[in-house]
């Protein structure tokens, strides 16, 4: 039976396991140099296969939640470093048979490596095929960074720090980091426009958290919405529809259920809730591009204008 442990206990467990590990995958929204240097001190001799996946939005580096030099150090050590911009998970997988999952980021405060650390909680669990598949999907969906990419990220950050453009602070240009082609629940609105969602406070880089954060600026909110993966995905489905009829609500639900990459997959009820939320945003921010209409008493149809 699994039990909760603190981040200090997690640190001790990792210090005992990592020197002899062969593979290591760390999924952590944030990463800073005190933690990555601590990590490399534990695994520098046996050179295991190390994969690190972080969120790494421009805003994370601007406010110091993550550190570009930490990523440079890891790449120079031969570790694979990847970015997944909607990431919030914290997972430590050692040799595919031990997993720690909880709230501790790969940071000094997250792993109790510095004074005045955060109080975090984690669970140690034995791996299973479902867990390994879930972690692999995260890694495969992320964008691999190189030293050159890090340099481009640094140049971009130095430029946007001179502006107050919130949109630029939360997203990377496609020529620096390309978005994952997979689509997840977190790419969709978790509520109707204007509704309070705790997850948006916890993870402000989520696309619809960004939209809600600027909702008083209608033009910017609309621009962010039309750049979102959820909106682009829906437009793609409408464009590629080969039927002589416009897509109905049920058809879109079915396609979304088959497409969404979360593991385990969400229930159909949750899929429909995400779709209802997305249509609410469409009616608010994209009425100039998309029309939702109800033919007679039938379900809602959707088409491009």
pLDDT tier for residue 46 given thresholds of 50, 70 and 90? low
* Averaged pLDDT for residues 171-182: 83
Per-residue model confidence (pLDDT) at position 180: 73
Per-residue model confidence (pLDDT) at position 85: 81
Question: Taking a C-beta distance cutoff of 8 angstroms, is the pair 184, 264 a contact?
Answer: no
Compute the 3-state secondary structure of the chain and give helix, strand, coil in percent, each to the nearest 5.
45, 15, 40
Q: What percent of the chain has pLDDT over 70?
A: 97
Per-residue model confidence (pLDDT) at position 296: 73
Residue 1 has pLDDT above 60, yes or no: no
Q: Which residues contact 26 (CB under 8 A, 6 or more apart)?
A: 39, 50, 51, 52, 53, 91, 92, 93, 106
* Averaged pLDDT for residues 89-112: 93
Q: What percent of the chain has pLDDT over 90?
A: 64
Predicted confidence (pLDDT) per residue in 235-289, tens digit: 999 999 988 889 999 999 999 999 998 877 889 999 999 999 999 999 999 999 9
* Averaged pLDDT for residues 43-56: 86
**Model pTM?**
0.76
Picking from 200, 204, 205, 140, the residue whose alpha carbon sits closest to that of residue 172 is: 205
What is the helix (H) or strand (E) element at residue 219, kind and residue range? helix 218-227
Residue 301 has pLDDT above 90, yes or no: yes
Residue 72 has pLDDT above 90, yes or no: yes
Per-residue model confidence (pLDDT) at position 2: 67
Question: Taking a C-beta distance cutoff of 8 angstroms, is the pair 74, 67 a contact?
Answer: no
Mean pLDDT of the chain: 90
Predicted confidence (pLDDT) per residue in 216-232, tens digit: 999 999 999 998 999 99
Strand 290-293 to 247-248 pairing = unpaired
* Averaged pLDDT for residues 86-90: 86
Residue 162 has pLDDT above 60, yes or no: yes
Domains along the sequence of the chain with CATH: 4-159 (3.30.870.10), 183-304 (no CATH)
Per-residue model confidence (pLDDT) at position 146: 96
Q: Which of residues 72 and 167 earns the better pLDDT score?
A: 72
Q: Which residues contact 197 (CB under 8 A, 6 or more apart)?
A: 190, 191, 209, 212
């Amino acid at each position: 039976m699994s039990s909760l442990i603190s981040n200090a206990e997690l640190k001790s467990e990792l210090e005992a396991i990592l020197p002899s590990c062969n593979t290591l995958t760390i999924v952590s929204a944030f990463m800073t140099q005190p933690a990555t240097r601590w990590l490399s001190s534990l695994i520098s001799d046996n050179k295991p296969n190390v994969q690190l996946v972080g969120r790494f939005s421009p805003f994370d580096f601007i406010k110091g939640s993550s550190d570009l030099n930490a990523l440079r150090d890891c790449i120079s050590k031969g570790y694979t470093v990847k970015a997944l911009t909607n990431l919030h998970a914290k997972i430590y997988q050692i040799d595919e048979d031990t997993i720690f999952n909880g709230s501790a980021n790969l940071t000094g405060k997250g792993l109790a490596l510095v004074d005045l650390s955060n109080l975090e909680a984690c669970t140690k669990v034995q791996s299973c095929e479902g867990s390994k598949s879930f972690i692999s999907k995260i890694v495969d969906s992320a964008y691999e960074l190189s030293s050159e990419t890090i340099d481009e990220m640094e140049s971009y950050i130095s430029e946007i720090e001179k502006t107050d453009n919130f949109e630029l602070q939360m997203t990377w240009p496609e020529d620096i980091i390309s978005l994952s082609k997979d689509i997840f629940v977190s790419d969709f609105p978790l509520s109707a426009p204007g509704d309070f969602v705790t997850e948006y406070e916890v993870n402000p880089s989520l696309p619809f958290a960004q939209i809600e954060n600027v909702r008083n600026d209608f033009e910017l909110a609309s621009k962010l919405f039309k750049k979102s993966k959820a909106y682009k995905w829906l437009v793609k489905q409408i464009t590629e529809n080969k039927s002589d009829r416009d897509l109905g609500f049920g058809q879109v639900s079915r396609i979304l259920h088959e497409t969404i990459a979360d593991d385990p997959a969400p229930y159909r009820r949750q899929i429909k809730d995400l779709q209802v939320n997305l249509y609410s945003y469409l009616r608010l921010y994209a009425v100039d591009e998309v029309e939702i209409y109800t033919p007679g008493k039938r379900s809602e149809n959707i088409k491009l204008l």
